[in-house]
Structure 1
Amino acid sequence: MNFDMGKLRFFLGNYQFFSLLLFYLYSQAFISSSFTNSLIERPTCSHNESQALLQFKQTLFFDCNASFLCNPNYGIAAFLKTDSWKEDTDCCSWEGVTCDSDTGRVIGLDLSCSWLCGTIPSNSSLFFLQHLKRLNLAFNNFRQSNISAKFGQFPNLTHLNLSNSFSSGQVPSEISHLSKLVSLDLSRFSLPFPSDQEPFNELKLETTTLKRLALNFSRVKELFLDGIDMCSVDHGYLMNLSSSLTSLSLVDCGLNGTISDRIFRFPNLKLLKLGKNPELVVYLPKSNGTSTLEILDLKQTVLVGDLSGSIRGLKSLKSLNLASCDLNGSIPTSLANLSQLVVLELPDNNFSGWIPASFANLTELQHLDLSYNGLEGTIPPFANGLSN
């Protein structure tokens, strides 16, 4: 068979040309499609929600002292977030506002550390934002006003944070209506007050409200109620909280009576803080307690049970605080089994004897406090090996 080399070269040349042409056309079509898609405008904030936000802004005034608890040294800087809220601009671009990418509805509002001062009455335009999923008003000053029952009327809310916003009165039972809630933070710090100022009024939680919270919060994972007056609460209802609970913090709540070791048996619990409740008797878990706990704070409580055996089962602990628990005897050597410990606080107890040599296993330790005990002997040589 004879080949015409000229025709062959012509064919190959045309083949390469058409291949390049097809590739070029395909790439141009792809670029054009991408460019067209980029021109499709995302939905903008609805006029009604924009106006509701602007009205909410106008009902408050701004005081740079209102967010004095926000400390930039801890990554929490206060600034006037609502300064970017302007008429005739898309509220989805405003600081602290998050919109749904498909509908343009306002689904998130984060005004924490925003220098807000004033009150939020039940007729506030804030409650017009019925599509909210996340609401954070922490670290502002709401001037000891009551938490409105209307906060319980956001049907889609999953996260609510009103911590350290200086509210007072009763925690409204309507909060329990937030059946989709995953995280609730109403905590408040205990602060010293200058002699020329009246102390802030307490925020209180009644048994009926706790009962409803435990019944209706079927999805709750985080519950932070530090500093809330719960002295009259039957905390037995805590055992009815969702098994999905990962964090429970009830520091300085005036809790009293006894709390069962069942509190340690939530299968997903990682943080448990019951500290600064000096009249609360805590029954320690058996050695088969939850292994998921990472942070345990029982300072200034009354502990009942075998401390050494309880500790042995909590192998995931990274932080343990048993300060001022009137513990005595030798420091439990089983602490050395907690190889992931970063923080260990055992001050102001009645421990005696030497620091266990087995502490050399705690190589992740960054903070160790054994002060105000009856320890003796020398600082063990292994301390040089605790490089963190």
Structure 2
Amino acid sequence: MKGSWNSRSIIHITLPFLLFFIYNFTAVFTAPARHLCHPVQRDALLTFKNEFEIKKPCLDGIRPKTESWAINSDCCDWDGITCDTKSWEVIELDLSRSCLHGRLHSNSSLYKVKNLTTLDLSYNYFSGHISPSIGNFSHLTTLDLSKNYFSGWIPSSVGNLSHLTILDLSGNDFIGELPSFGSMNQMNLLSVEFNKLSGNFPHSLLNLEMLSDLYLSHNQFTGTLPSNMSSLYNLEYFEAWDNSFSGTLSSSLFTIPSLTYVDLRDNQLKGTLEFGNISSPSKLTSLVLGNNNFIGPIPKSVSKLVNLQDLDLSRLNTQGPVDFSVNHHLQMISQLYLSGCGITEFPELLRTQKKLTNLDISNNKIKGHVPGWLWTLPTLNFVDLSYNMFIGFERSTKLGLSMQYLVGSNNNFTGEIPSFICDMRSLITLDLSSNNLNGVIPHCMGNLKSNLSFLNLRQNRLSGDLPNNTFASLRSLDVGHNQLTGKLPRSLIHFSTLEVLNVESNRISDTFPVWLSSLKHLQILVLRSNEFHGPVHQASFPTLRIIDISDNHFNGTLPSNYFVNWSAMSSLKANEDRSKEKYMGDSFGYYHDSMVLTNKGIEMELVRILKIYTALDFSGNKLEGEIPRSIGALKELHVLNLSYNAFTHHIPSSMGNLTALESLDVSQNKLSGEIPQELGSLSYLSYMNFSHNQLVGLVPGGTQFRRQKCSSFEENSGLFGPALDEVCRDIHAPAPQQHEKSKPEEEKEEVVSWVAAAIGFGPGVVFGLTIGYILFSCKQEWFMNVFGRNERRSSTMLKAKSRFKTQAARRGQ
């Protein structure tokens, strides 16, 4: 009885579970099979994949999406692929940041995947022209080809993509005029910035009634901006900086009720600023109009921009005293740029700007003292006072805690470095260069050791020893052109992040700091014009790009293998020449390192130092013996100066390996033998000087040798050859009386010859960039504005893209 009860209980308990199992087991095998992607599309995508190479290493270590693509798997499961849930057709292809490299040909299999709604090939290495076949993707809502190497004209067929809401072609090499976009009535975002586009403002854009984001910056557009910009009544973001737009700026732009962000800096706009009948309150938060040709006072209507956070009126020709009372209602300002506006007094209205973070009043005519209340503003973190006529700082008893960047260079500051600066413990950059500061560098600056990254005190009258503080975050230390004495502090060995050390033109007496070779990030070392002495001991400087130890008292010989481990001068790292950060300095563009360098026989100032620029200057010492053969390993070296030493023996033939060399100076030594014929094949070598040695034999016949001046070979005992005949006729013959020159005339000849060399050897890539330094120095604010705001601008655009994609996804649900 008891056993029977147990059997029945077991049946009652297990039967429901058995039925449940059978039901689900049947359901599995009777459920409709999941459709795979269409074989035609799968094959087309695999063919497309094989049209390109994967260029590694990828940015940020990202895994290329096409690596998951395999013929024996469902393409709807591949990375970067989205299929329609009903038809299982591929409708979205996102291969952004996939390291793909190659030309996108007009017969690419990509064009066989015709029902795409999204095509994103951004941040790759695609090149070539865009085929008119792109217009056959009639269902596209998003087309993103940004940050590639596409070139040529943008095909007119793009204008046929009437469903597009996002079109991003930025960061390529497109040329010519924009095609007509008049039929793209759904367009929300259009970006063609950072190309080489030209022509007038495309008036067809005024028909895009849904357009909210328009980015035209960094092209070659000309002509005037339309007077009826207000027809774009949904426009929120408008950027067209760094073009050649001219004429007046229509006030109708500012009547657009949704307008939030305007950036038109670095154009040729002119006339007076007028903001018209601004809707009240205006939504405008950023107004960036700096570096144009506007004239007249700051308009009173700017006071209606009550939500304004970012105002840039740099180089506004105010034509008289600036009335800042018009800005009384602007209490939301966080970034204010008034560089080069003719301001003569410190703007008192700043005292009430409690949200101010960035202040640039550089390149004005402000005299007197910097007011102490400035440092009490609670959120202020960036101040540029450079190129004014300040004479001192008022002491502040209360300091804000957020100050990070203080630039006060090129003023008339006198006295000692203010001690209250030592209390700005958040400082990242301190630049007080080119003033009349004296006294010692205060030891209290050690208070800044945790955050200070850039310290520039060059061209003052500072004296005493360098302090023995340790700065954990310091990347650049420049104290050149002062009156410092003593030795280099051994605490420098603990500056583990140091990239630049410049102590030129002081009175420092020490031996060669071989111990600095332990600094793994040191890229620039400048010891020139001091009292360093003794041998230049062998050391490994794998990251050093520029070393200048000229005009000291170094002596002794250099071992043959001296330069073996100087890796940074020997080769470039992968993609190093394509880095976004092209210049030595901070990543925001607020500060750039600079230095003086003797190049092509002339002492010049590099106001920007390219990260790929290399130079080695050992001139003006007492070095002797052979020039090390290992010098030939420095294949990325651009400038080599060994003049005014006592080197002997032959010029090493290994110098023929210096394929990037532009300037070579071995004059005023005791070199003998022949000039190596290998030097004749160095196509970038536009300046050379072999004078005042004991050289003999045939001068190499390369084109560059034939274009040197005769003084580059004079005072040698037996040089000859056709190349020499062209420039000197007979170097041994005494010069005729009428050709004898005084020293000033010779110096003038050198300058003229250097200019001629610059014209004659333009193909030298890095030489052109070096000249660029001088050109760029004339547009100092342009550099700060462009690079200082790119990160914020990119962030704005990324947010806009994200916003539109989210909206599109919601519409698709």
Q: Give TM-score scaled by structure 1 length.
A: 0.73
Matched residue, 1:21: none
* 1:1-388 alignment, distance < 5 Å: 43-64=35-56, 72=60, 78-143=62-127, 145-188=128-171, 202-206=173-177, 209=179, 212-213=180-181, 215-233=182-200, 235-240=202-207, 242-285=208-251, 289-301=255-267, 302-307=269-274, 315-325=282-292, 326-329=315-318, 330=322, 337=329, 343-355=335-347, 357=349, 360-361=352-353, 363=355, 366-375=357-366, 378-379=370-371, 381=373, 384-386=377-379
SS at match of 1:277: coil
Matched residue, 2:755: none
Change (3 A) 1:261 1:304: farther
SS at match of 1:204: strand
Counterpart contact for 1:42–1:101, Cα < 8 Å? no
Deviations 1:62-93 (A, max 9, x none): 1137x7xx5x5xxxx64311111111111122
Aligned-pair CA distance for 1:147: 1.0
SS at match of 1:50: helix
Change (3 A) 1:176 1:161: same
Counterpart residue type for residue 83 of structure 2? C
- Which structure carries more relative contact order (alpha carbon 8 Å, separation 6+)? 1
Aligned-pair CA distance for 1:150: 1.1
Counterpart contact for 2:195–2:218, Cα < 8 Å? yes
Counterpart-to-counterpart distance in 1, 2:227 and 2:329? 21
Aligned-pair CA distance for 1:114: 1.1
Aligned-pair CA distance for 1:371: 3.4
Aligned-pair CA distance for 1:299: 0.7
Deviations 1:228-273 (A, max 9, x none): 3333335333323x11110111112212221134325522111100
Counterpart contact for 1:243–1:266, Cα < 8 Å? yes
**Structure of larger gyration radius:** 2
Counterpart contact for 2:124–2:147, Cα < 8 Å? yes
Aligned-pair CA distance for 1:54: 0.7
Matched residue, 1:197: none
Counterpart residue type for residue 347 of structure 2? I
SS at match of 1:188: coil
Counterpart-to-counterpart distance in 2, 1:231 and 1:292? 28
SS at match of 1:223: strand
SS at match of 1:98: strand
SS at match of 1:239: helix
* Alignment size in residue pairs: 334
SS at match of 1:168: strand
Counterpart contact for 2:332–2:353, Cα < 8 Å? no
Counterpart-to-counterpart distance in 1, 2:185 and 2:142? 14
Change (3 A) 1:206 1:231: closer
346-355 vs 306-315, which moves further: 306-315
SS at match of 1:260: coil
Counterpart residue type for residue 316 of structure 1? K
Aligned-pair CA distance for 1:338: 5.5
Aligned-pair CA distance for 1:155: 1.1
Aligned-pair CA distance for 1:157: 0.2
Counterpart contact for 2:201–2:225, Cα < 8 Å? no
Aligned-pair CA distance for 1:295: 1.9
What is the percentage of aligned positions where both structures have the same residue? 27
- Segments of structure 2 that go 5 or more residues without pairing to the other structure are 1-15, 293-314, 381-401, 403-813
Counterpart residue type for residue 130 of structure 1? K
Counterpart residue type for residue 132 of structure 1? L
Counterpart residue type for residue 370 of structure 2? T
Counterpart contact for 2:351–2:377, Cα < 8 Å? no
Counterpart-to-counterpart distance in 2, 1:53 and 1:150? 17
Change (3 A) 1:317 1:170: same
Please report the RMSD computed on the Cα atoms of aligned residues, expressed in angstroms. Answer: 3.7
SS at match of 2:86: coil
Aligned-pair CA distance for 1:307: 4.8
Change (3 A) 1:360 1:266: farther
Counterpart contact for 1:222–1:245, Cα < 8 Å? yes
- Segments of structure 1 that go 5 or more residues without pairing to the other structure are 1-23, 190-201
Aligned-pair CA distance for 1:335: 5.3
Aligned-pair CA distance for 1:48: 1.4
Deviations 1:103-151 (A, max 9, x none): 22111111111111111112111111111111111121223x1111111
Change (3 A) 1:336 1:146: farther
SS at match of 1:372: coil
Counterpart residue type for residue 378 of structure 2? G
Counterpart contact for 2:41–2:112, Cα < 8 Å? yes
348-357 vs 90-99, which moves further: 348-357
SS at match of 1:354: coil
Counterpart residue type for residue 222 of structure 1? L
269-278 vs 351-360, which moves further: 351-360
